[in-house]
Amino acid sequence: MKIAVFEDNLKFRESLELLIVTTSGMELCGSFADTTHLIQRIGVLLPDVVLMDINIPGTDGIESVKIIKENFPHVQVCMQTVFEDDDKIFASLCNGASGYILKNLPPEKVVQAIREVADGGSFFSSSVARKVLKSFQNQTITSDFIQLTDREKEILKLLVDGMSYKLIADKVAISYETVHSHIKKIYEKLHVNSKSEAVVKAIKQKLI
């Protein structure tokens, strides 16, 4: 898988670069200290996963996630942040990020996060999950009429549980391509463009 890094802290950026280039199955396709020419860079590199610092110079990480997902919906974005940035993480998830990496995570956890996000899964902390649920509880929600098949509900539930496409395929004994087809239909019915948006709507409207 191809990984692009956007991180202004030189020491941390270099540690991520070293981790990626020494990990089997990963390729560092680009590393940047700011988000200048973001669309052009992503368009040329076409990474599978972008590691994005929330507080990076230029267009900040939260807005950068939105830009990436609008222009390159298949590129997965994993945020890099510190523990105190939970509110910003929540905002980035709403913009389409698939997870986040705490900057004090051990290397094996960073690798796990990258692989899970690349494979269609997610990597969130319990503290962020609590903030998401609290936000739902404080909102007045007008439910749309959404009719999912039993299989779509089953797959959506597994998405909410954080499972990747491959794990879902194994769980329900169907092919990866069939899972992808079901999820595409789920996105269309929910009027969403990313996994994180689908999870948010599923919980908000009690679809599972």
Same domain assignment for residues 196 and 173: yes
Query: Looking at residue 123, what is its pLDDT?
Result: 80
User: Residue 123's domain spans which residues?
Assistant: 2-134
- 23-27 — which CB contacts under 8 Å span 24+ positions? 23/111, 25/1, 26/1, 26/111, 26/114, 27/1, 27/2, 27/3
Q: Is 161 left (phi over 0), alpha (psi -120 to 50) or beta?
A: alpha
Same domain assignment for residues 68 and 111: yes
**Token pair belonging to 180:** 């992808």
Same domain assignment for residues 151 and 93: no
Cβ-proximal residues to 129 (8 Å cutoff; 6+ apart), any chain: none
Classify residue 139 as exposed, middle or buried by CB count within 10 Å of its CB (0-12, 13-18, 19+): exposed
CATH of the domain at 129: 3.40.50.2300
Same domain assignment for residues 130 and 146: no
Same domain assignment for residues 105 and 183: no
pLDDT digits (tens, 9 = 90+) for 83-126: 666 677 777 877 888 888 888 888 998 998 899 889 888 887 66
Tell me which of 134, 163, 186 is where a domain ends: 134
Query: Looking at residue 128, what is its pLDDT?
Result: 66
Q: 151 vs 130, which has greater pLDDT?
A: 151
Same domain assignment for residues 146 and 95: no
pLDDT digits (tens, 9 = 90+) for 184-208: 999 888 888 777 778 888 877 778 7
Which DSSP string corresponds to 17-55? Answer: HHHHHTSTT-EEEEEESS-TTHHHHHHHH--SEEEEETT
Beta-bridge mates of residue 6:
32, 52
Cβ-proximal residues to 118 (8 Å cutoff; 6+ apart), any chain: 1, 48, 49, 76
pLDDT digits (tens, 9 = 90+) for 18-69: 999 999 999 999 999 999 999 999 999 999 999 999 989 989 999 999 999 9
Alpha-carbon distance of 196 to 109, in angstroms, equals: 20
Question: What is the dihedral angle through the alpha carbons of 108, 112, 115, 118, rounded to the nearest 10 degrees?
Answer: -130
Is the whole-model pTM more than 0.75? no
CATH of the domain at 198: 1.10.10.10
Query: Does the pLDDT value for residue 10 go beyond 80?
Result: yes
Same domain assignment for residues 48 and 108: yes
- Number of domains observed in the structure of the chain: 2
Instruction: Return the ∠ at Cα 88 (arms to 83 and 90), rounded to 5°.
Output: 95
- Contact, 101 vs 81, CB < 8 A? yes
